[in-house]
Amino acid sequence: MALRHAVLAALLDGELSGYQLAKSFDLGVANFWHARPQQLYAELSRLEKDGLITGREVVQESRPNKRLFHVTEDGRAELARFAATSAKPSLIRDDLFVKVQAADHVDAEPLIAQLTERAAFARAKADLFTKLLCDMRGDRTEEDFLRHGDRIGPYLTCRRGLAFEEGNRDWCLHTIAVLRARQQA
């Protein structure tokens, strides 16, 4: 997947400025695709040049003008083409896993501290995803929302982000418990 497809998908919900797109990435898209704001602005320019999005200038009083972008029919066709291609399996590449791999040969305390920090980060992200899911479905049950909601794609990717962070948290806590038990033995 290229950043362009993630940006196109993020713009499906309506017009966004570059700033709003960056915020959207922070809150939702970042659970499966990370990009820095400068990368997003550069991609918006490329997408507009390629005719996959179009932008319009919005004049604002007491603020700088801004550009709002939306997906064109060519952009929707590109997303449809992308969605029809085979997805490559994702791979894990994580420094912390390398450190745990070496756990039998390094001091466990710094490793436990890093695992504790990662578990706290994962817990905070899981809490954020839980709130986002509640906001997306409103007063509906999850079953009703998934059956009758307008846009379930963002909801489903947020559910995956939640499961990912819960898995990270649980793995970290389990690994800490194993390391602590081995220290006491």
Long-range contacts of 119-126 (CB under 8 A, 24+ apart): 119/168, 119/169, 119/172, 119/173, 119/176, 122/165, 122/166, 122/168, 122/169, 122/172, 123/165, 123/169, 125/31, 125/161, 125/165, 126/162, 126/165, 126/166, 126/169
Read off the pLDDT of each residue in 71-94 and give the average, rounded to a whole number. 91
Q: CA separation (Å) from 120 to 33, 37, 84?
A: 21, 25, 37
Which pLDDT score is estimated for 2?
83
pLDDT band (50, 70, 90) for residue 21: confident
Sequence-distant (≥ 6) Cβ neighbours of residue 165 within 8 angstroms: 31, 122, 123, 125, 126, 129
- Model confidence at 33: pLDDT above 90: no
Read off the pLDDT of each residue in 11-26 and give the average, rounded to a whole number. 85
Closest CA to 17 of 81, 63, 85: 63
Read off the pLDDT of each residue in 113-140 and give the average, rounded to a whole number. 95
- Model confidence at 30: pLDDT above 90: no
Read off the pLDDT of each residue in 143-168 and give the average, rounded to a whole number. 93
pLDDT band (50, 70, 90) for residue 166: very high
Weakest mean pLDDT among 108-117, 144-153, 164-173? 144-153
- Model confidence at 48: pLDDT above 90: yes
Closest CA to 115 of 91, 92, 95: 95
Which pLDDT score is estimated for 31?
63
> According to the per-residue pLDDT averaged within each range, which of 58-67, 147-156, 161-170 is highest?
161-170
Helix (H) or strand (E) holding 51: none
What amino acid is encoded at 135 in this protein? D
What is the rounded CA–CA span in Å between residue 40 and residue 53?
A: 13
